[in-house]
A and B are shown apart, each in its own frame.
Chain A
Amino acid sequence: MPPGALTRERDVREAYAAHAGELYGFALRSLGDAGLAEEAVQETFLRAWRAGERFDPQIGSLRTWLFAILRNVTIDLGRARAVRPPVAEAGVEPAVEPFEEALLAWQLEEAMRRIGDQHRRVLVETHYRGRPYAEVAEELGVPEGTVKSRVYYGLRALRVALEEIGYDG
């Protein structure tokens, strides 16, 4: 058994404390349903516990391993949902994005939450809302050059945050 394997209930509890939030956030985003997301997170940790002896921190991070398990769990849940009779009027079935794309989207959103407010603000205003630098500068009460510089440092901060989250593209 490799050192650092996930064999005790306490190891699982610590893994839960460290990563359940991220796993849940992503499961909710990709499954579009809070109940299913909870089910997915619970099943992920149960499978992690069963396979705990095989986890080797030398090979990859705990986060990467848990996300790989979650990936299989969401596929199984998606399959189970597919054979269930269609949901009554209640609602629109969430669109199922391919896992990798959903993971990238979630990683970027998580990275956006981690960078500073000032950086996020200029990226949202100029990129997502498509507003001119001059307008954003006036609204924020700063020179246009400052907006430009915040866009640059904002992208750099985003790159660092993505690396922290485990994005390796």
Chain B
Amino acid sequence: MTAERCREWRESLGAEALGQLPDDERAALEAHLDGCPECRAELDSLAAVARLMPLADPERFDAAPQPPPELAGRVADAISSERRTARRRRRRRLGFGAGLATATAAAAAVLAIFAIGGGEEGPSQWVAFSSLPRGVKVDAKLEPRPFGTEIHMYVEGVRSGTLCRVTLHGPHGVRMSAGTFRYRYGADQEAVLSSALDMSRASAIAVQVGSRTFVAPVGSGSA
């Protein structure tokens, strides 16, 4: 059996690939390699790895540097703001009727007043729902808006057509609906909802998926 016969030689192949084998042992190994293509192939393969080794810096073997935790949020924010811009552009391209355009302008003016009134847009926040049934995924992203809070819902792993109801919880038992949506298998699972509750006042988000309700805390850091 090749494996048995080669066993003692195999363990010399690492040293040989790294040029560490003493001359007498190397001569004996060479004799074996001449008659054993498997060991020769193994040596070639290890030598390819060994050739890379001088490139690396052993000082860097200990711990991999990690990006700062807040970078994830900055990436999410950059993408959200880009998407908003794209959506606005798309809306404009579709060409609203004159009446609608006026209405939109009026709405924009109202929103602008709210914005000046302190509705400064802060960072968005990802909310994780824990203790979900196996196979079910529920995530939400909350974005502060002048009108309240925009909520991006992502649901996966439930029956297609399941009705989902989203509510924001505020102080003193305040409950503000953010609306409903249906999960459809195979469709883009993102649903965009809005609630009038200011994000800085939101303490929790509740998502009713079918007959189950999941609640996750919302950080107050954005206040």
Mostly, the B contact residues are helix
B71 touches A9 (CB 8 A): no
- B80 (CB) vs chain A CBs: closest residue: A9
Indicate if A110 sits at the interface (CB-CB under 8 A). Answer: yes
Partner of B14, one of A50, A110, A113, A148: A148
In the complex, A21 Cα to B69 Cα: how many Å? 10
B12 touches A152 (CB 8 A): yes
- A157 (CB) vs chain B CBs: closest residue: B49
**Residues of B within 8 A of A (CB-CB), count:** 47
15 A-B residue pairings within 8 Å (CB atoms): A8-B189, A12-B75, A12-B76, A21-B67, A24-B71, A37-B67, A42-B78, A45-B78, A46-B78, A108-B56, A113-B61, A126-B20, A127-B53, A128-B58, A155-B50
Among B76, B82, B189, max chain A CB count under 10 A is at B76
- Measuring CB to CB, which residues of chain B are less than 8 angstroms from any residue of chain A? 10-15, 17-18, 20, 45-46, 48-50, 52-53, 55-58, 60-68, 71-72, 74-76, 78-80, 82-83, 126, 139, 141, 152, 154, 188-190
- B124 (CB) vs chain A CBs: closest residue: A9
- Find residues 114-169 in chain A having any chain B CB closer than 8 Å to their own CB: 120, 123-124, 126-128, 133, 145, 148-149, 151-156, 158-159, 162, 169
In the complex, A105 Cα to B152 Cα: how many Å? 40
Indicate if A79 sits at the interface (CB-CB under 8 A). Answer: no
Indicate if A10 sits at the interface (CB-CB under 8 A). Answer: yes
A46 touches B190 (CB 8 A): no
A24 touches B67 (CB 8 A): yes
Distance in Å: Cβ of B55 to nearest Cβ of chain A: 4
User: Which of under 10, 10 to 19, 20 to 34, or 35 or more describes the interface residues of A?
Assistant: 35 or more
In the complex, A103 Cα to B49 Cα: how many Å? 14
Among B46, B65, B141, B154, max chain A CB count under 10 A is at B65
B18 touches A8 (CB 8 A): no
Supplied contacts A20-B72, A152-B14, 12 more A-B pairs, CB within 8 Å: A8-B189, A10-B154, A12-B76, A21-B67, A28-B65, A38-B67, A41-B75, A46-B78, A123-B53, A124-B58, A159-B45, A159-B46
